[in-house]
A and B are shown apart, each in its own frame.
Chain A
Amino acid sequence: MREELRPKLVGARVKRVEDPRLLTGQGSFADDYRPAGMVHVALLRSAYPHARLLRIDTAAARSMAGVVAVFTGDELAEAARPMVATSKMKDYRATAMPMLARGKVRYVGEPVAAVVAASRYIAEDAARRINVDYAPLPAASDPLRAAEASAPLLHEEVRSNIVLSREFARGDAAAAMAAAPLRVGARFRFRRKAVLALENRCYLGDYHRGRRELTLYSATQVPGIVRDALSELMAMPEHLIRVVAADVGGGFGGKASVYPEELLVAVLARRLGRPVKYASDRLEDLLSTSQAFDEIVDAELGVANDGTIAALTAEVVGDVGAYSIYPWTAALEPVQVVSFLPGPYRMPNYRGRVRGVATPKAPLGPYRGVGRPVAAFVMERLIDMAARRLGIDPLAMRRQNFVAAEEFPYRTGSGIIWDRAGFAECLTAVRVALDYDALRRWQKEARAAGRWIGIGFASYAELTGIGSKIPAAPGMPVNTGTETATLRIDPSGSVTAIFGVASHGQGLETTLAQVVADELGVRLEDVRIVQGDTAGRAYTTGTYASRSAVLAGGAGKLAAAALREKVLRAAAHLLEAHVDDLVAEGSRVAIRGTDRSLSFREIARSVYLQFGRMPPELQEELEATKLYDPQFGTTSSATHAAVVEIDPETFDVRVLRYVVAEDCGRVINPMIVDGQVHGGVAQGIGAALLEELVYDGEGQLLSGSLMDYLVPSAAEIPPMEVIHIEAESPTTLGGFRGMGEGGTIGAPAAIANAVTDALAPLGIEVTELPVTPERLYRLVEAARRKE
């Protein structure tokens, strides 16, 4: 069979190879490791949002049976340097995040003291017996108040709570706005969200005193970044540190940062010389895992009478919480709002300004979509507001303003480059799938019958698979733009493929095996993917920012191609054939057009066990290592459509239908892409309708349990239709684009537009998410009072 006609694994709905393990309880999560002699950590966390620490009395806790040790921040001051997330960004003020609070506490839930005990029960009992004298300090929980010059300071050394600011500009936005025949705008608010992975954060430090080796088992997305951080903060060479993230139960960005608790168990394991485990409970997860969104966006769109966008301006205030998350910095989320705000649209004039304000809350950090869910919410609402005023159909208005095929590569108002992407193709696919004109007719009839039905859209573009020419976070000095794969064939002919990425549920063991197996010419079951472990790599970071399929996929392809060359050279010698006549397929190498072939096992055994019989130039290990750097990145895009119904009396919102058409380039595994879209949209629906971390004016978290912090369950999520558009990417190897985040970017905007559409007869614009029944009640009451 000719090579191009062979059935490929890439593109096939291959069942996830990790699932039998994960679904039968045989995964290896950090909490599953229980080495002999292990002790447990419980943390005393601050009950105050902002307070000076006067005295911490740990005597009673220390004296309890079963307690191994109790530490305060001051007692561990020499054990590790504080974490400082640095950035080359102008107007970024770096602040330090302590492992345990020193001097003062800056948010409710900040770790103040650590108890190490024989069991978590004892550790928690002892933590309750630690006495802390706090001197409460004033605090501004509201970011607008915290931004004022008179507000109490969280970090005195930087002399302001405004810890970062940045501006993007193109053209003359002010003049274009003033000249625009139609201007629409509002203050938009997207409330604070929890990341909420199924598995809470968990860390186990194991220090071998004889070999001076530290192993950290971590529920992390970024074992490589953690290893580098531990080395620097604990002053240990990296060859003595191994970070293992075997199975991780969801990350969504919340496990993409280095945490004080992670450093703490490493420090305690080294100090105590025994395995030390910290497992966060759900309350601690809600209190201390990095949080998402929470921006106030004053935005305005200027539009010509024919619907052409003339200008966009935005002022963003981001509530970044008490600390700058390591290593991404507090700039990551709010700056991305401004840099992605223009979306997939032609934008001749743009000005976006952002300020990040420190408040006494858990730190803001990366969350699926980073900045773009808020950007899409604002931009897509503005488009609908303008379309409604002009009497233009919302889909037509989007299509008209999309960057057109002939304009790629297109530089956006903030300097991001869109390579060729399927903006219009996605929109058209959604329109067709909906049978749009019939849907609008049905909506009209339903409205006439008293039903409140709304149809909403969201189109967006995102940069994925970012290479080394662009920092993943603004000004961040960590290189996230490369990935290396090592492939080796052992004497049994089986393939081990070692990557630096770290799957936390997205099925990389399957998709990377599909890529490698196709390129190398072996069966899927002959490839084992090793990932989530720093031991195999000189440098690695992990999995975040929709990078793994693009970067690891590309590195896997390069390494597989190089290894295939080695295999074919050896086989050519063994088969006495010319390399050009050989084809590798199904774990065999055959002479094209003959029945003569050798299995990979036969080739590998010949190579390794009979080295002497190979000519000197073929005496080489069947191993290849290749680095891949996509340099810039590639554009992923989608259009989402939501159909919602609002109960006209209770204001309960139901999502009746949800359609996504997305372009992630060449699809490696449609089933896995579907799953990523389903999960992302479910999180986006949660963000749009349910999920909100509520802090009171003083900085106390009111939604500290899953009874009060509401995540959607299966009952709240509609069936979804997902359409894959494959506009091949010219810039990445294999044509892959990242697609792990998109669902969460489009869904809040689509739901907000659908809810607004349902309320159109009342003239209500949704400007705040989540849009809860309570908020709808107030909006409807206000609209009726106006009438």
Chain B
Amino acid sequence: MKPAPFAYAAPRSVEEAAALLAEHGGDARLLAGGQSLVPMLNFRLLEPALLVDINRIAGLDGIAEIAGGLRLGALVRHRMLETSPLIASRFPIIAAAMAEVAHLAIRNRGTIGGSLAHADPAAELPLLALLLEARITAVSTQGRRVIAASDFFTAALTTALAPDEILTEIELPDPPAGSGWGFAELARRAGDFALAAVGVIIAEAGGICRTARIAMAGVGPTPLRAPAAEALLQGGTLDTGAIAAASRAAAAAAQPADDLHASAAYRRHLVEVLTRGALSAAVARARKVVP
């Protein structure tokens, strides 16, 4: 289990890295935390000619406040998301979900940019990007563009990034004021990829649901939103019946497949259970029933 031979470069700037990608295109791979890439190299599932290590590029590991949200560098580690006071106060759902990601050693190395670019359909950060309507910046020698999370995940392990593009930062717009969140996941063991995970954001005004977002992971080729379920909630009261109906609609929107660990039917069942739990928690938080 040794990787095939590869060349290695450690550029000091995004421009330098972009130039390397422009030159090598699909034969090159970016190395950030390496928590998915290195095992794939060792299994020889990937045999890139060049590894471009972006860990030495300065300025990609910050969490900064911007108007109406936060900006995260691509090299922000899972562990930083888990422990950052800024994340805890502005996006507590991220901090909570990070505790479900793998194990501490992996969270210390893994990055948000790497997780989004790797696009594992059962991973937490792609789900959160979709739920929080993140805007993802990609840079190449051709320039820079911003991709909406809803356009970013195109298939299993596949994104809208071109082979010569580097994911450099992620902008997270603040959720509506007074909103509540919920996150629920089931994995076989602590730290495993989710059999199913659900994240929700809801906001109420005058007893009426104004915003409802539901995103799920592990139950399709990409993380998924559940628009029909969201529509059921919006404009209505968030009572038990509505939550149950939305949870059923979310389960209907899932696109699970059978695999070694769970059948599609069980995963769909889990989506309903987890959505119900996440929505109930979100309503309680929005209503300040829980701290």
* A interface with B by C-beta (< 8 Å): 120-121, 124-125, 128, 281-284, 649-650, 652, 690, 694, 702-703, 705, 707-708, 710, 712-713, 715-716, 772-774, 777-778
- Asked if B260 is an interface residue, CB under 8 A from chain A, the answer is yes
Q: Which of A125, A702, A710, A777 contacts B188 (CB 8 A)?
A: A710
- Asked if B1 is an interface residue, CB under 8 A from chain A, the answer is yes
Q: How far is the CA of A282 from the CA of B263 in the complex (A)?
A: 27
Q: How far is the CA of A703 from the CA of B265 in the complex (A)?
A: 21
Asked if B270 and A650 sit within 8 Å, CB to CB, the answer is: yes
A-B contact pairs, 30 of them (CB 8 A): A120-B2, A121-B2, A121-B3, A121-B5, A125-B4, A125-B5, A128-B4, A282-B1, A283-B43, A284-B1, A649-B273, A650-B186, A690-B188, A694-B260, A705-B43, A707-B192, A708-B261, A710-B192, A712-B189, A713-B191, A715-B191, A716-B189, A772-B188, A773-B262, A774-B261, A774-B262, A774-B263, A777-B266, A777-B269, A778-B263
Asked if A773 and B190 sit within 8 Å, CB to CB, the answer is: no
Asked if B5 and A283 sit within 8 Å, CB to CB, the answer is: no
B240-283 vs A: 1/0 string, CB under 8 Å?
00000000000000000000111101100110011000000000
- Asked if B195 is an interface residue, CB under 8 A from chain A, the answer is yes
Q: How far is the CA of A652 from the CA of B189 in the complex (A)?
A: 10
B181: chain A residues at CB < 8 Å are none
- Asked if B183 is an interface residue, CB under 8 A from chain A, the answer is no
Besides the contacts A650-B186, A708-B260, what 8 more A-B pairs have beta carbons closer than 8 Å?
Answer: A124-B1, A128-B44, A705-B43, A710-B192, A712-B189, A715-B189, A773-B186, A774-B266
B260: chain A residues at CB < 8 Å are 694, 702-703, 708
Given contacts A283-B43, A694-B260, contact A713 B269 (CB under 8 A): no
- Asked if B152 is an interface residue, CB under 8 A from chain A, the answer is no
- Asked if B193 is an interface residue, CB under 8 A from chain A, the answer is yes
Q: What number of B residues sit within 8 Å (CB to CB) of A? A: 25
B263: chain A residues at CB < 8 Å are 774, 777-778
Chain A residue at minimum C-beta to C-beta distance from B269: A777
B269: chain A residues at CB < 8 Å are 777
Chain A residue at minimum C-beta to C-beta distance from B262: A774
Distance in angstroms from A115 CB to nearest chain B CB is 12
Chain A residue at minimum C-beta to C-beta distance from B267: A774
Distance in angstroms from A285 CB to nearest chain B CB is 10
Q: How far is the CA of A649 from the CA of B266 in the complex (A)?
A: 11
A777: chain B residues at CB < 8 Å are 263, 265-266, 269
Majority DSSP secondary structure for residues of B touching A? loop
Asked if A773 and B195 sit within 8 Å, CB to CB, the answer is: yes
Asked if B2 and A124 sit within 8 Å, CB to CB, the answer is: yes
A712: chain B residues at CB < 8 Å are 189
Q: How far is the CA of A716 from the CA of B189 in the complex (A)?
A: 7
Given contacts A774-B263, A777-B269, contact A707 B193 (CB under 8 A): yes
Asked if B4 and A773 sit within 8 Å, CB to CB, the answer is: no
Asked if A713 and B190 sit within 8 Å, CB to CB, the answer is: yes
Given contacts A650-B273, A694-B260, A777-B269, contact A710 B189 (CB under 8 A): yes
Asked if A773 and B266 sit within 8 Å, CB to CB, the answer is: yes
A773: chain B residues at CB < 8 Å are 186, 188, 195, 262, 266
Distance in angstroms from A333 CB to nearest chain B CB is 24
Q: Which of B5, B43, B189, B195 contacts A713 (CB 8 A)?
A: B189
Q: How far is the CA of A476 from the CA of B265 in the complex (A)?
A: 48
Chain A residue at minimum C-beta to C-beta distance from B42: A281
A282: chain B residues at CB < 8 Å are 1
* Interface-central residue, B2, B193, B262, by most chain A CB under 10 Å: B2
Distance in angstroms from B180 CB to nearest chain A CB is 21
* Interface-central residue, A652, A774, A777, by most chain B CB under 10 Å: A774
A694: chain B residues at CB < 8 Å are 260
A283: chain B residues at CB < 8 Å are 1, 43
Chain A residue at minimum C-beta to C-beta distance from B187: A652
Distance in angstroms from A282 CB to nearest chain B CB is 7
Chain A residue at minimum C-beta to C-beta distance from B1: A281
Distance in angstroms from B288 CB to nearest chain A CB is 26
Q: How far is the CA of A713 from the CA of B269 in the complex (A)?
A: 26
Q: Which of B43, B186, B190, B274 contacts A716 (CB 8 A)?
A: B190
Q: How far is the CA of A694 from the CA of B260 in the complex (A)?
A: 8
Distance in angstroms from A768 CB to nearest chain B CB is 15
Distance in angstroms from B51 CB to nearest chain A CB is 15
Chain A residue at minimum C-beta to C-beta distance from B184: A650
Q: How far is the CA of A120 from the CA of B4 in the complex (A)?
A: 11
Distance in angstroms from B34 CB to nearest chain A CB is 16
Q: How far is the CA of A783 from the CA of B269 in the complex (A)?
A: 16
